[in-house]
Amino acid sequence: MSNKYFLLKPQTVLGLIAGSMIIGSQQSAAEEKKSYTRPPVSSFSSQMSDALTGSGKYEKPVWNLHDTLKLPDWLSLSVEQRTRYENMDGRFNAGGKGGDQQIATQIDVFMEARFNKWRVGGEFLDARQWGSDAGSVLNNTHVNTADMLQGYIAWADQNAFYSGLGAEVIAGRQTLNIGSRRLVARNAFRNTINAFDGLRVRVTNYDNWQVNAFVTMPINRYPTSAADLLNNVQDFDKADGHTWFSGVFLEGFNLVGKMNGELYLYHLDEGDSPTIATRNRRYFTPGLRFFLKPAKGQFDFQVESIGQFGTVKASTTSNVTWSHTAWYQHLDAGYTFDIPWSPRFSAEYDYASGDKNPNDTKDQRFDSLYGGRRFEYAPTGIYGAFSRGNLNTPGYRLSVSPLPNVQAGLAHRFYWLAQSRDAWVGSNLQNKNGTSGDFIGHQLELTTRWDVNSSLNLETGWTHLFKGEFARSTLAGTAASPTPNVQDVDYFFVQSMLRF
């Protein structure tokens, strides 16, 4: 795809912000302290308050509709608008040639009314793309035009039945953001957001433990055809009733010192809808996580181990069912220096199992379900080269805060296939003979974020993928790209988020 309509060069913008580099990881902040100048990175979060603790993580925007319209205290209303320009030079995906670009826009409107212990809320999301063409990689992670993201009724009691426990029940359409967000997340960077119809129950003993349990039907986003998405066609999303996603999630606080722990089990029972064929994934996914949050002058760490087992069809059109057994491991350790700029350095490692033999009847590639990935593997959008499947990746990152409202840093990761005969999941490239090796390459990421005030933040970043043996030698297997794509990939973005 030609870049002739977009003359903005990554090098030009990066030159203006030289010396200001950031990792966009939500987990890298040294402190969780509430700050007027640090709004959230994703929509709707700026207005969210915890019904059981009675507080919000962020202060309300300095420019806000609630005060301007003189709304009553029982009513919340917010509008958030995000615009992001993305440019990619080079391709990593099968059949991709040249470059690509996109302007992704997102308008989010949230309203909630509160009556004693009851809440009724709704959220409208309009996510569109501009500037793509027939050569772009376009799917419904980029476009979801004019649809209801949430619509729920909730009840919460900070001292349920005088037990000393807090309890909350939410019924209806809702988003889920649980634990490390590796398996269940409200998408932050991606232009569209996962939603679910169902019931969620939460019980907390505040400083000791908390349990989340849910039974939901994932929402299918429509339309799905590239032609409709290219033209921003509107089609209402819906749950088809053939797929169920449920789970139980237990958190323990301050188990040893300030160390927290999590124990969970998710279940996915997937079925075909009248319009969408699936692989009928029927997975149980148990997991365990221990972590110590970053703090100045202290070491921190995180360990998460996840198993996965069940059955899956060989393809969306096959009637053959395979057994499924997979696993995932995450490790990281860091230190935050108690000096100006509060630099934090961390080393990290991820392993997501792959399929050992593509010719047998066993599937061993890990599936990350409805998780987020931007905070570990660089931006998604039109990039999104890596996901948690058939991956073996160590790396390190450095983050600094030269000003209270500026965050900057660097991330560097190395990527190997966990199994050389399985696919590079983010690209759909595969050599079933394993003769292309297993080294995909290494990736350097620089990003920066400036929180102008609590209503406006600006962010920009650059990612370079240095292709390794596998990425350079594996054939795309299409008539449009009969030879390997050896060009490295440069991805650049700049975005603004405005909140009212």
pLDDT at 263: 98
What is the pLDDT averaged over residues 69-96?
Answer: 92
In the chain, domain spans? 10-499
pLDDT at 61: 86
CATH of domain 10-499: 2.40.160.100
Structure tokens at 122: 């709704």
pLDDT at 134: 84
pLDDT at 230: 93
What are the C-alpha distances in Å from 449 to residues 140, 193, 343, 459, 496?
Answer: 27, 22, 15, 4, 10
Say what percent of the chain tops pLDDT 90: 78
CA 417 to chain centre: 21
Strand 118-130, strand 99-115: pairing = antiparallel
Confidence of residue 47 (pLDDT cuts 50, 70, 90): low
Confidence of residue 60 (pLDDT cuts 50, 70, 90): confident
Q: What is the CA radius of gyration of the chain?
A: 22
Digit-coded pLDDT (tens) for 220-261 = 999 999 899 999 999 999 998 899 999 999 999 999 989 999
Whether the per-residue pLDDT at 458 is higher than 60: the answer is: yes
pLDDT at 65: 92
- The b/e string for 6-38 (b: 16+ C-beta within 10 A; e otherwise) is eeeebeebbeebeebbbbbbbbbbbeeeebebb
Whether the per-residue pLDDT at 276 is higher than 50: the answer is: yes
Confidence of residue 137 (pLDDT cuts 50, 70, 90): confident
What is the pLDDT averaged over residues 426-445?
Answer: 94
Torsion of CA 289, 212, 165, 153, to 10 degrees: 150
Residue type (1 letter), 264: Y
* Residues forming beta bridges with residue 370, ordered by sequence position: 184
pLDDT at 53: 80
What are the C-alpha distances in Å from 398 to residues 269, 337, 383, 442?
Answer: 40, 11, 22, 16
Entry pTM: 0.89
**CA 418, 421, 425, 427 torsion: positive or negative?**
positive
Which of the residue ranges 131-135, 158-162, 392-396, 434-438 has the most confident prediction, judged by mean pLDDT?
A: 392-396
Whether the per-residue pLDDT at 21 is higher than 50: the answer is: no
Whether the per-residue pLDDT at 15 is higher than 50: the answer is: no
Which residue carries 């806000």 as its tokens?
Answer: 64
* Residues forming beta bridges with residue 474, ordered by sequence position: none
CA separation for the pair 304, 328 (Å, rounded): 8
Whether the per-residue pLDDT at 84 is higher than 90: the answer is: yes
Which range among 7-21, 187-201, 425-439 shows the weakest confidence by mean pLDDT? 7-21
Confidence of residue 41 (pLDDT cuts 50, 70, 90): low
CA separation for the pair 428, 413 (Å, rounded): 20
Structure tokens at 356: 């050992």
CA separation for the pair 66, 79 (Å, rounded): 10
CA separation for the pair 150, 175 (Å, rounded): 7
Nearest to 36 by CA among 50, 56, 52, 66: 56
Which residue carries 């608008």 as its tokens?
Answer: 81
Confidence of residue 59 (pLDDT cuts 50, 70, 90): low
pLDDT at 348: 98
pLDDT at 96: 76
Confidence of residue 55 (pLDDT cuts 50, 70, 90): low
Q: Are 352 and 359 in contact (CB under 8 A)?
A: no
pLDDT at 45: 57
Q: Half-sphere exposure (CA, 13 Å, Cβ side) for 172?
A: 14
* Residues forming beta bridges with residue 411, ordered by sequence position: 397, 445
What is the pLDDT averaged over residues 94-116?
Answer: 91
Whether the per-residue pLDDT at 78 is higher than 70: the answer is: yes
Whether the per-residue pLDDT at 464 is higher than 90: the answer is: yes
CA separation for the pair 344, 334 (Å, rounded): 7
Q: Are 361 and 322 in contact (CB under 8 A)?
A: yes
Confidence of residue 273 (pLDDT cuts 50, 70, 90): confident
pLDDT at 302: 98
Digit-coded pLDDT (tens) for 147-178 = 999 999 999 999 999 999 999 999 999 999 99
State the SS3 of the chain. Answer: CCCCCCCCCHHHHHHHCCCCCECCCCCCCCCCCCCCCCCCCCCCHHHCECCCCCCECCCCCCCCHHHHCCCCCCEEEEEEEEEEEEEEECCCCCCCCCEEEEEEEEEEEEEEEEECCEEEEEEEEEEEEECCCCCCCCCCCCCEEEEEEEEEEEEEECCHHHCCCEEEEEEEEECCCCCCCCCECCCCCCCCCCCEEEEEEEEECCCCEEEEEEEEEECECCCCCHHHHHCCCCCCCECCCCCEEEEEEEEEEEEECCEEEEEEEEEEECCCCCCCCCCCCEEEEEEEEEEECCCECEEEEEEEEEEEEEEEECCCCCCCEEEEEEEEEEEEEEEECCCCCCCEEEEEEEEECCCCCCCCCEECCCCCCECCCHHHHCCCCCCCCCCCCCEEEEEEEEEEEEECCEEEEEEEEEEECCCCCCCECCCCECCCCCCCCCEEEEEEEEEEEEEEECCEEEEEEEEEEEECHHHHHCCCCECCECCCCCCCEEEEEEEEEEEC
Cβ contacts of 290 within 8 Å, gap of 6 or more? 255, 259, 260, 261, 262, 301, 302, 303
Average pLDDT of the chain, as a whole number: 89
